[in-house]
Amino acid sequence: MPHVKLIARLLSVVELSEQDKVRLQQMPHIIKTFRDGDRVARQGDVPVHCAVVMTGMLSRRRVVSERNQISSIYVPGDVPDLHTLHLPVLDHDLCSEGTSTVAFISHSHLRRMLKESPGLTNAFWRETLIHAAIYREWVENLGSRAALPRVAHLFCELATRFEMVGLLDNDTFRLPLTQQDLADASGLSTVHVNRTVQELRKMGLLDWRGQIAYVLRREELETVAEFSADYLHALKVPSPRAIIMAAG
């Protein structure tokens, strides 16, 4: 159900009342499954629903100067197009990375729910601000860091975000990206990405096989990446059991 990871995500950054958890559990929704490369939404669309990532991963993409650019990655629990409640025309594509499952909640229901609940209004507003902070961090990462810390930073961020929704298992997480995708997200060539990942592997900090990323020495990887999770503004990282109990 879409509420499980959404509640986990919100609880990692804000307190929720029991009544608000019930509201999220009872949201009417439509569930769709997407294959790798499918567009969940296209630039120029005028959505009437917001998407909640249930499983898998989505990316925000645009073509800039004839090159694909990934400017955001979304993991389970994220609502990548929450802004369409106020900005009606989508200015980017939302694409599935690997197979993903997405729940769609109508704008009309979300507006009614947020009108009824100041707590959820605060939660989604905080979530919007955190994603703005993530975007700023991406800009700084691309603009200021060399290739090695830049790529390391992306892995550190994703590990932390998966951990926040109970999807990091012994510092291992599913990463359905190709080296080309990683190049599109980091502003590097695929050759440079390959060399950088190989260097991190030789340093014993990271391994990436198929669709599984293994963070081998997390603190050292975070040092290389100059990574601090402060910009993710987590209140706490719940255990997987706590997530299941909280979501009902």
Q: In this model, does residue 248 exceed pLDDT 60?
A: no
pLDDT score of 46: 97
Q: In this model, does residue 247 exceed pLDDT 90?
A: no
Mean local confidence (pLDDT), 35-57: 97
In degrees and rounded to multiples of 5, residue 49 shows phi and psi of -130, 155
Share of the chain above pLDDT 90, in %: 90
pLDDT score of 238: 57
Cβ atoms of 186 and 154 within 8 Å: the answer is yes
pLDDT score of 85: 96
pLDDT score of 64: 84
pLDDT score of 210: 87
Who's near 95: CB < 8 A, 6+ residues apart? 37, 38, 39, 40, 58, 59, 61
Mean local confidence (pLDDT), 87-108: 97
pLDDT score of 194: 96
Mean pLDDT, the chain, whole residue set: 94
Rounded Cα–Cα distance for residues 137 and 71 (Å): 11
pLDDT class of 100 with cuts at 50, 70, 90: very high
Rounded Cα–Cα distance for residues 192 and 226 (Å): 20
pLDDT digits (tens, 9 = 90+) for 73-96: 999 999 999 999 999 999 999 999
pLDDT score of 3: 80
pLDDT digits (tens, 9 = 90+) for 180-208: 999 999 999 999 999 999 999 999 999 99
Identify the residue whose tokens are 């991190």.
200
CATH 2.60.120.10 fits 3-139+236-247, yes or no: yes
Cβ atoms of 54 and 102 within 8 Å: the answer is yes
pLDDT digits (tens, 9 = 90+) for 146-168: 999 999 999 999 999 999 999 99
How far are the Cα atoms of 12, 127, 204, 209 from residue 133, in angstroms, in the given order?
Answer: 16, 10, 30, 30
* 93: region left, alpha or beta (phi > 0 left; psi from -120 to 50 alpha): beta
Rounded Cα–Cα distance for residues 200 and 195 (Å): 9
Cβ atoms of 151 and 182 within 8 Å: the answer is yes
The two three-digit tokens of residue 170, written as one number: 């012994």
User: Do 3-139+236-247 and 146-232 show the same overall fold?
Assistant: no
pLDDT score of 66: 79
Q: In this model, does residue 239 exceed pLDDT 70?
A: no
Kindly report whether the global pTM for this prediction surpasses the value 0.85. Answer: yes
Measured from the Cβ of residue 5, the count of other Cβ atoms closer than 10 Å reads 23
Rounded Cα–Cα distance for residues 102 and 177 (Å): 18
CATH 1.10.10.10 fits 146-232, yes or no: yes
Mean local confidence (pLDDT), 118-134: 97
* Segments making up each domain of the chain, as ranges: 3-139+236-247, 146-232
